[in-house]
A = this chain, B = another copy of it.
Amino acid sequence: MSALDGLSINLATVREQFNLAQAVDACVKQGLRAVAPWRDQVQAAGLKEAAAMVRANGLRVTGLCRGGMFPAADEAGRAAAIEDNKRAIDEACALGADCLVLVVGGLAKGSKDIAAARQMVADGIGATLDYARANRMKLAIEPLHPMYAADRACINTLEQALDVCDVLGDGLGVAIDAYHVWWDPKLAEQIARAGAGGRIFAHHICDWLVPTRDLLLDRGMMGDGVIDLRGMRRMIEEAGFKGPQEVEIFSAENWWKKPGDQVIATCIERYRSECLL
């Protein structure tokens, strides 16, 4: 196995530079063997065409981003979210993805009731999970950083995600993104718990910059911030997950403004210098 088999590029990292075909070509050209696309990128390319690109290049798809967004102000909205998640499962299957990543959604519109949002998330995942199981597609809850609790995801720690997994059962696990969980005082313990349950489905990486200038779009390249990425990888491998580390960087003012080939080259270089055990 070459070192690069341990690296995947989440294509949001070059979303401003490349469409899906260009991004796949750029990754393959630099020797990468795994990618993770977003649904809008797949839709723009066409699902069949996207699946054909993946197969033709022998690529592993470490996840499809993203399902989730379950809370809604009314029953019709919640039902529509569940239907949309089933379509996302279909797409993940067509691409042969390792998992469908769930960004579960924040508060319902106009609501301040985060407990209710969390219940809607559990209900929504529960209503989607049989379909996922029937299609043999794993669902990976991605706990997001607490700064996204209101508007993106009300599952904000690994512990909380794993509690949902324990209730809902097989076929459900977690995507562990260093950016979202690095601060968690219970990180080591909850990674071990996730591994013991066979629930680690993906490992995302980037870095936390100091200062961080934007809540969403100022994520850093590995090595430019303060996360002990190698230490976290060690915990994850010891917990039993050996799959690729997937670089996902939203960076409006920096990496999204650089040439895509340079960004991918930097991901490879930093993966080797900062992340590889």
Contacts and interface: CB of A to CB of B under 8 A. Distances in A.
A57 interface: no
A114 B181 CA distance: 12
Contact of A114 (B151, B154, B182): B182
Contact of A112 (B146, B149, B155, B227): B227
Task: Determine chain A's interface SS by DSSP, over half rule.
Answer: loop
A114 B210 CA distance: 14
B185 A112 contact: no
Interface string A130-141: 000000000000
Most interface-central of A155, A183, A208, A210 (chain B CB within 10 A): A183
Nearest to A228: B112
Nearest to A212: B215
A172 to B, nearest CB: 17
A182 to B, nearest CB: 7
A92 B182 CA distance: 34
Interface of A: 107, 111-114, 118, 145-147, 149-151, 154-157, 159-160, 182-185, 208, 210-212, 215, 225-228, 231
Contacts of A154: 183
Most interface-central of A183, A185, A231 (chain B CB within 10 A): A185
Nearest to A149: B183
Nearest to A225: B150
Given A114-B183, A151-B211, A211-B151, A107 B226 contact: yes
A184 B231 CA distance: 25
Contacts of A113: 228
A65 to B, nearest CB: 21
A151 B210 contact: yes
Contacts of A185: 118, 155-157, 159-160
Given A156-B183, A211-B151, A215-B212, A228 B114 contact: yes
B150 A208 contact: yes
Contacts of A114: 182-183, 228
A225 B114 CA distance: 13
A179 to B, nearest CB: 11
Contacts of A226: 107, 111-112, 150
Nearest to A227: B112
A146 B184 contact: yes
A192 to B, nearest CB: 15
